[in-house]
Amino acid sequence: MNLKIIENEKPLWTLKYLEEVCKHTKSFGNDILLGANEIKNNINKGSPDIRIDILDSRCFEIYEDDNFIGDIVLVKDRNNSGEFFYDISILIFSEYQFNGYGYKALSLFVEDEYLDELPIEAFIRKENPFFNVIKNILLKVGFLETEDKQVLVYNKLTI
């Protein structure tokens, strides 16, 4: 397994990425489907939209050799106490799932210098069919469970 993580400041939608996101609506939430037809039309017209266009967000694409197999996205947010954190999501394409890529990518991600000093929160939807698998991977790479069992936190300063 030869994984690389490369930050992409302007990641574009592709049909493959859209297909994968639509497959995993229980993981991401059904609202992801609202703009799917428009996104697909723009891709087919040759003018794909930027898929991560939220201020203070970062996209890290995951490659095995030269094959794009998914990504890790951080979105800067603020908690109820006014403290900043990153909300993390990870997508591994279906044909690469259950082969250790999620664990390996997250391990590389937290080991390397991709992170600044902000804590990272991972929210796992209860409807997510892979809830326990994802939770175990996050715990294995250093995330800690909170009182709300759906949220796990990683803080580089306390690890």
Is it the case that residue 50 has pLDDT exceeding 50?
Answer: yes
Tens of pLDDT along 62-100? 999 999 999 999 998 888 888 888 889 899 999 999 999
Write down the residue that tokens 């859209």 correspond to.
18
pLDDT category at 41 given cuts 50, 70, 90 is very high
Q: Token pair of 20, please? A: 């994968």
Is the pLDDT reported for residue 159 higher than 50?
Answer: no
- Of the CATH numbers 3.30.70, 3.40.630, 2.30.30, 3.90.550, which one belongs to the domain with range 3-119? 3.40.630
pLDDT at position 80 is 82
Report the predicted TM-score, pTM, of the whole model to 2 decimal places. Answer: 0.87
pLDDT at 116: 65
Which segments of 12-101 are extended strands (E)? 57-64, 67-78, 84-92
Q: Is the pLDDT of residue 143 over 80?
A: yes
Supply the pLDDT for residue 156: 59
Cα 18 versus chain centre, distance = 14
Torsion sign (Cα): 34, 61, 82, 124: positive
**Vertex 64: Cα angle to 59 and 97 (nearest 5):** 80
Check residue 127 and give left, alpha or beta (phi > 0: left; psi -120 to 50: alpha). alpha
Query: Which one, of 64, 49, 45, lies nearest residue 18 by Cα?
Result: 49
- Mean pLDDT, the chain, integer: 86
Q: Is the pLDDT of residue 23 over 80?
A: yes
Q: Residue 154 — pLDDT band, cuts 50, 70, 90?
A: confident
User: Is the CB of residue 157 less than 8 Å from the CB of residue 145?
Assistant: no
**Averaged pLDDT for residues 38-42:** 93
* Angle CA 3–6–94, to nearest 5: 55
**What whole-number distance in Å separates Cα of residue 131 and Cα of residue 23?**
16
Spell out the domain ranges in the chain. Answer: 3-119
